[in-house]
Homo-oligomer: A and B are copies of this chain.
Amino acid sequence: MAVLTPPPDPESDPRVRAVFDDIRATRGSDFINNIWHYLAADPALLERTWREIKEVMATPSSLDPLTKELIYLAVSVANNCAYCVHSHTAAARARGLTDEQHAEFLQIVALATKTNALSNALQLPVDDVFRAEKAPGEG
């Protein structure tokens, strides 16, 4: 179904092996989902993508893990990425998303998309109070 066939034995490449090992260790699971199998065709892209996901999503930070997944999922819905909507709904479930929270998430996404459309259809001017005050070099 994809546009390329993923490498049949990706872990024979030591760079791929190192990333897959780190995915398994970070997640505490042997399962490697499809995106990593396909990115393995380009070890540099695989490494950069995993490093960024690990730094941004798997490191304790100022936003809690479920909130981070919901932001990720909201973007994926708005961009209509089928693979990402499936994988990040699953990831949010794994982070404790309840049915009630999922229902609420859907309500917010539906509402935001709707007011986005209204704003764009009306070409609303931005209220002055919402603008940052200074551009670079304005001291």
Contact = CB atoms under 8 A, between A and B. Distances in A.
A45 B119 CA distance: 13
Interface residues of A, number: 90
A136 B40 CA distance: 11
A79 interface: yes
A90 to B, nearest CB: 5
A68 B92 CA distance: 15
Contact of A114 (B83, B98, B113): B113
B126 A83 contact: yes
Nearest to A126: B86
A114 B107 CA distance: 9
Copies in the complex: 6
A35 B57 CA distance: 23
B5 A75 contact: no
Interface of A: 1-6, 8, 31, 33-35, 37-39, 41-42, 44-45, 48-49, 52-53, 55-57, 61-63, 66-68, 70-72, 74-90, 98-127, 129-136, 139
B72 A75 contact: no
A138 B15 CA distance: 22
Contacts of A87: 126-127, 130
B1 A132 contact: yes
